[in-house]
Amino acid sequence: MPFPNAHPALARTLAAQGYDQPTSVQAAILQAPPGADLLVSAQTGSGKTVGFGLAAAGELLGQEDRLAPAGPPLCLVIAPTRELALQVSRELGWLYADAQGRIVTCVGGMDARREQRALAAGCHIVVGTPGRLRDHLERGNLDLSALKVVVLDEADEMLDLGFREDLEEILDAAPAGRRTLMFSATIAREIAALARRYQRDAVRIDTNRRDEPHGDIEYRALRVAPNEIEQAVVNVLRYFDAPSALIFCATREAVRHLYAALRDRGFSAVALSGELSQKERTDALQALRDGHARACVATDVAARGLDLPALDLVIHAELPQNKPALLHRSGRTGRAGRKGVSVLLVPYTRRRKAEQLLASAQVTAAWSGPPSADEIRERDQQRLLDSPLLQDAPSDDDLALGRKLLAGSPPEVVAAALVRLYRSNLPDPEEVFDDRRADASPPREPRPGREGRDARGGRGDGGPPGRKGEPHSPLEPGAGVWFRLPVGRENNADPKWLIPLICRRGHVTKKDIGAIRIFPRETKFEIAADAEARFREALRTTARGDVAIEPAGAPGPANSTRPKPHQRERAKGKPAHRTAERR
């Protein structure tokens, strides 16, 4: 039998539905002692709904193949959201169909009077959200006197959403001898306290795969200029066109800034951070679940315990701090059997950090530059050509109106109007910098003897040509003050993104910047003397970001720079000392 220890009536139903073997959580539940309370750690998509349906069968069916005539409910399932409650109701509906189980769903946003009539007519299982169930309980519509099993699904999220008081009132009203099954993604302190109060010697089941990459998640790492994170987020959202996306930032301030930027560009977005009230958080999540918002910008703390089964895309606008954070963030997608994409935006200056992070998590990511505006427009074109609007059979009213349009305008004009209408609802993609020469391999060590190059494409001393950049006139000798950035050729330093970064950080314009000299591990640049004071003040007061700017001495002549000892050794073919390499 593929489902050992399962009630025979449900085992036959599972076989008819094509279930050939239990998932890990279902197998663990079936192996638990009959009648025991269960405290289960399991993620969405692990098959836990069928699992607790199987667990409750002993109390609901006993030795019979069919349930007794419907009356007060025998089983109560509490879920945090309307969507999850409806999903659970559907799953239990087919699981108990042959057993003639009657299921009533009570959730917010539905007709409460219809639910009242359904409860009065009798049922075997009630599935609902905490607020609506409490309302029916207080109004006398929900009779818990015959209850044999209570299931708390996604208990951690119910506590996160502020339903503790509702849960406690419902559980206090349930018979003391009932069986309590509690499911949660994590067993935090609040969940453990709830279990101690309302369960008796609960059997602990943990089926979570900790610190392991999810097989249904595709990882991508995008090289971006440090000053173009915001633009890269815009292009990633536009490129994937995901119905729902979660964007992670490190701080509340970053959440506020990115949320405002996305709204300003025309994206339907919401924000989640610790400073929001519970109602604001609930409303934001509901907007994402209902499709009224397609992107949510959040901090790690605010995103704890979120269950968004339909989430298609996760964007790490700022890199996670460690391996667990990477896996937790990414694990918000790829749930319930769906495929998901996790995109890391990697500034050139933090590529080594990102490579170490991915390696520690045993994650293989596809490296590339950010989606370009041309690539996004090409995808828009293909999406329009593949649109269901062009594939589905039109109604008679649509055909009649279409004929009127064609009678008054040429077909090309009507088609062009359709294209304009389609594009009018799409935020414009951003022009982003992408050094296509940076491939998926780690940065290589510089070759001996390569000196700093300036933004004009040479060495600054008339040496051989080097990296091309924007034309830039040096200041008069002695008219500029030198500063440095700890990024160089190894970090794909390029004036195309260095100049905007310097301008933004230092509150200067392009004309205030003189020569730029790019070395293997650092870049030096000049600031006009009359702009030095405000440049230093801006550096002191603005956010530091990933790239620090510091005062520096003027670089010496390129031809006076001698190879370091370890470079001379390499030039002779000898291995360099380990400590020299670190320098």
DSSP state letters, 300-361 = TTTTTT---TT--EEEESS--SSHHHHHHHHTTSS-TT--EEEEEEEEGGGHHHHHHHHHHT
**Cβ atoms 255, 297 nearer than 8 A:** yes
Which residue type does 581 have?
E
Q: Torsions phi, psi of 368, nearest 5?
A: -165, 180
Place of tokens 């790829």: 334
Predicted confidence at residue 307, as pLDDT, reads 59
Of 154, 110, 133, the C-alpha closest to 308 is: 154
Burial 454-471 (b: 16+ CB within 10 A, else e): bbbebbbeeeeebbebee
Query: Could you give the domains of the chain?
Result: 8-206 (3.40.50.300), 217-372 (3.40.50.300), 376-424 (no CATH), 453-560 (3.30.70)
Q: Which long-range contacts (CB under 8 A, 24 or more apart) does 570-579 make?
A: 570/448, 571/448, 571/449
Instruction: Give the Cα separation of 307 and 64 in Å (integer).
Output: 36
Instruction: Please report the sign of the dihedral spanned by the C-alpha atoms of residue 553, residue 559, residue 561, residue 566.
Output: positive
| Crossing angle of the two packed helices 373-385 and 411-424, in degrees rounded to 10 | 120
Chain center to CA of 322: 16
3-state secondary structure of 67: coil
Predicted confidence at residue 557, as pLDDT, reads 63
Which residue type does 448 have?
P
Q: Which long-range contacts (CB under 8 A, 24 or more apart) does 212-215 make?
A: 212/327, 212/362, 213/327, 213/330, 213/361, 213/362, 213/363, 214/327, 214/330, 214/331, 214/334, 214/340, 215/334
**Cβ atoms 517, 525 nearer than 8 A:** yes
DSSP bridge pairs for 269: 295
| Continuous H helices in 340-424 | 351-360, 373-385, 388-391, 396-408, 411-424
The reported pTM is 0.56
Q: How far apart are the first and last CA of the chain?
A: 64
Instruction: Give the Cα separation of 302 and 565 in Å (integer).
Output: 51
Pairing mode, if any, of strands 366-368 and 453-454? unpaired
| Crossing angle of the two packed helices 373-385 and 229-240, in degrees rounded to 10 | 20
Instruction: Give the Cα separation of 66 and 73 in Å (integer).
Output: 15
Stated as kind and residue range, the H or E segment containing 285 is helix 278-290
Instruction: Give the Cα separation of 53 and 41 in Å (integer).
Output: 16
The HSE-up count of residue 486 (CA atoms within 13 Å, CB side) is: 9
Tens of each residue's pLDDT in the chain, 583 residues: 567 778 988 988 998 888 878 888 888 999 999 999 999 987 656 788 999 999 999 999 988 989 999 999 999 999 987 768 888 999 999 999 999 999 999 998 788 999 999 999 999 999 999 999 999 999 999 999 999 999 999 888 788 678 899 999 999 999 999 999 999 877 778 888 999 999 999 999 987 655 455 567 899 999 998 888 999 999 999 999 988 899 999 988 899 999 999 999 999 999 988 777 767 877 888 888 888 899 999 988 666 556 566 788 999 999 998 887 888 788 778 765 678 899 999 988 888 899 999 998 888 999 999 999 999 999 988 888 887 777 777 888 888 888 888 888 888 888 888 888 877 778 888 888 776 544 444 444 444 444 454 544 333 433 333 344 444 556 776 678 999 999 888 888 888 888 888 888 888 888 889 999 999 989 999 999 988 988 998 888 766 666 789 899 888 765 444 444 444 444 445 444 443 333 3
Q: Torsions phi, psi of 155, nearest 5?
A: -60, -35
**Cβ atoms 297, 269 nearer than 8 A:** yes
**Cβ atoms 521, 486 nearer than 8 A:** yes
The conformation of residue 272, written as its DSSP 8-state character, comes to: E
Edge-first strand order for the sheet with 103-106 is: 103-106, 125-128, 75-78, 149-152, 179-184, 38-41, 203-206
Predicted confidence at residue 317, as pLDDT, reads 95
Instruction: Give the Cα separation of 152 and 410 in Å (integer).
Output: 61
- Indicate the length of the chain as a whole number: 583
Place of tokens 């009230």: 277
| Continuous H helices in 66-175 | 82-95, 112-121, 130-138, 155-160, 164-173
3-state secondary structure of 286: helix
Predicted confidence at residue 442, as pLDDT, reads 42
**Cβ atoms 108, 131 nearer than 8 A:** yes
**Cβ atoms 549, 483 nearer than 8 A:** yes
